[in-house]
């Protein structure tokens, strides 16, 4: 897994040299350490085993680009080639960003190459990684031997994913740096793609101002299934239009709506009309007519008084 140190402005990537025993993994690492500039490499650490070695060191490769203005460093590991060190192989593969598979070009080593490659696929699967998606290359080492298999035959037997392959003579340094440089470029490219994908997803997840305002002001909308969306802000209330009261009834204001917790309103249930409403309506009409007649009589009386004066 890529490690980013923002304080030092560095990006650390992990590359593992994988392959059968004595195929040239350690020799590749030693050549890189010997020929890399002193200011761009760390100390070479060796953990010895019986006839095999696991090595590690980190360094800053040249001309491999930057990620968001940060310098890139690669931590280079090798794994034990012997089968009974599989637990160590699996541990070293944890958090790997790229793999260089070092194969032995001799015909009698072909089966060991295939078994080690399948072992790489199985160990990565336990971490949820697929070798087909992981940046990796294959290096056919020991090309200077007279009995070395042809590259075509090795490709047919080994290169099931069609990844870049390189011929090498690791003990002389031939093909070592082209292999590493190509793999490093593939790792950086995968990191850039992941970063762009993350930025795109974050931008798409961020609501646009107009969309956010529209969503904020939107009222609940009932879906076809009967579900209702949550209202974020109540819409401005429109003045209610009064309906004409039935004959004999006075118009009045409707009862104020009861407040629910959370600001939502619930209208007060209106009383159901009963059978006495008709009689009460007639009583109000009679009272209204009596008052009207009294008012007319009073006005007539005042008019006659003025005429007599």
pLDDT band for 222, please (50, 70, 90 cuts): very low
Q: Which residue would you say has higher pLDDT here, 244 or 124?
A: 124
The CA distance from 284 to 196, in Å, is 79
Predicted pLDDT of residue 70: 78
The CA distance from 165 to 161, in Å, is 11
Instruction: Please provide the CATH number assigned to the domain covering 3-193.
Output: 3.40.50.300
Q: At what angle do helices 110-125 and 151-158 cross, to 10 degrees?
A: 40
Most confident of 24-28, 254-258, 260-264: 24-28
**pLDDT tens per residue across span 122-154:** 999 999 999 999 999 999 999 999 999 999 999
57 strand-pairing partners: 76
DSSP one-letter string for 193-244:
HHHHHHHHHHHHHSPPHHHHHHHHHPPP-B-TTS-BPPPSSPPPPPPPPPPP
Q: Is the pLDDT of residue 119 over 80?
A: yes
The two tokens of residue 222 are 């009932």
Q: Is the pLDDT of residue 223 over 90?
A: no
Q: Which residue would you say has higher pLDDT here, 194 or 165?
A: 165
In the block, tokens 């709506």 appear at 257
What's the mean pLDDT when you consider all of the chain?
76
Q: CB neighbours (10 Å) of residue 235?
A: 10
Q: CB neighbours (10 Å) of residue 268?
A: 10
Strand 136-141 and strand 98-104: the pairing is parallel
The CA distance from 72 to 235, in Å, is 54
In the block, tokens 């006005």 appear at 299
The sign of the dihedral angle between the CA atoms of 115, 120, 125, 127 is positive
Separation of CA 52 from chain center? 41
Q: Is the pLDDT of residue 73 over 60?
A: yes
**pLDDT tens per residue across span 259-302:** 555 555 555 555 555 555 555 566 777 777 777 777 767 776 66
pLDDT band for 214, please (50, 70, 90 cuts): very low
Predicted pLDDT of residue 46: 73
Work out the average pLDDT over 181-191.
90
Beta strands in 60-206 (DSSP E): 71-78, 98-104, 136-141, 165-167
43 strand-pairing partners: none
């Amino acid at each position: 897994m890529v490690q980013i140190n923002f304080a030092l402005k560095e990006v650390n990537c992990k590359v593992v040299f994988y392959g059968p025993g004595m195929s040239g993994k350690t020799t590749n690492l030693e050549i890189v350490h010997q020929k890399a500039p002193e200011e761009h490499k760390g100390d070479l650490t060796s953990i010895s085993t019986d006839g095999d070695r696991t090595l590690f060191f980190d360094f800053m490769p040249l001309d491999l680009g930057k990620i968001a203005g940060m310098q890139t460093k690669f931590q280079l590991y090798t794994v034990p080639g012997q089968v009974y060190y599989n637990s160590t192989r699996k541990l070293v593969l944890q958090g790997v960003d790229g793999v260089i598979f070092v194969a032995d070009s001799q015909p009698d080593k072909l089966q060991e190459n295939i078994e080690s490659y399948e072992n790489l696929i199985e160990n990565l699967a336990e971490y949820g990684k697929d070798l087909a998606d992981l940046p990796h290359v294959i290096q056919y080492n020991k090309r200077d031997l007279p009995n070395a298999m042809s590259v075509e035959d090795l490709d047919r037997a080994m290169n099931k994913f069609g990844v870049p392959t390189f011929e090498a003579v690791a003990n002389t340094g031939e093909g070592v740096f082209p292999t590493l440089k190509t793999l490093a470029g593939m790792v950086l490219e995968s990191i850039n793609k992941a970063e762009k994908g993350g930025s795109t997803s974050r931008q798409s997840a961020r609501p646009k101002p107009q969309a956010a305002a529209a969503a904020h002001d939107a009222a609940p909308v009932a879906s076809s299934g009967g579900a209702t969306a949550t209202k974020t802000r109540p819409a401005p209330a429109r003045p209610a239009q009064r309906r004409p009261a039935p004959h004999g009834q006075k118009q009045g204001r409707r009862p104020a709506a009861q407040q629910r917790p959370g600001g939502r309103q619930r209208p007060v249930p209106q009383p159901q009309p009963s059978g006495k409403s008709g009689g009460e309506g007639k009583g109000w009409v009679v009272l209204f007519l009596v008052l009207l007649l009294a008012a007319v009589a009073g006005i007539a009386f005042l008019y006659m008084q003025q005429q007599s004066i």
